[in-house]
Structure 1
């Protein structure tokens, strides 16, 4: 319920950032992630869309992993950015190399309004 209220309580500035956050967790959880390059190697991964100026988390999404028995998702980064920025227009989106791709750049260019 909390994550559904975040967009209703704040209107982000023109600059937003889409990134991932690993919340440290060592207990039992079917979607616990292992990320060897992070300080806390085990935890729950959360996709976050934050306002750059205020650091307000405008939209959050818990990553529950791939479905059992299914192959890895193709264009995961593109899907995450498109879902996390749904409903926003005219914003500058910043993300790291996990999310960037040529297909995403083409998608955002085609779907954004023409600028004068």
Structure 2
């Protein structure tokens, strides 16, 4: 019975730890499309439970609202729509220490699409 109790407690601690990932704050880094036109990215994330809100864009002065966002464990997914040209960015990143790294699928209003790598570091 003690073994079952210890295993249960260990499981609860692991789930609590996985759910405790904190991505609140400002993140800055690289946005690298597959076509090689390297750019920058800047995100301001606000976390409430598993919901992510905030803004994202190429830099701190050009930001668009996050339409939908969620976090599960260390995985973050956000959808952002550019207010300028309507381009939609669907990004999925993983928190690893002070880095968010992953991929974005970009759908432009002219029907073109591309993929990009996102590599962000928490702004201190």
- Bigger Rg, structure 1 or 2: 2
TM-score by length of 2: 0.27
Query: Between Structure 1 and Structure 2, which shows a larger proportion of strand residues?
Result: 2
TM-score by length of 1: 0.28
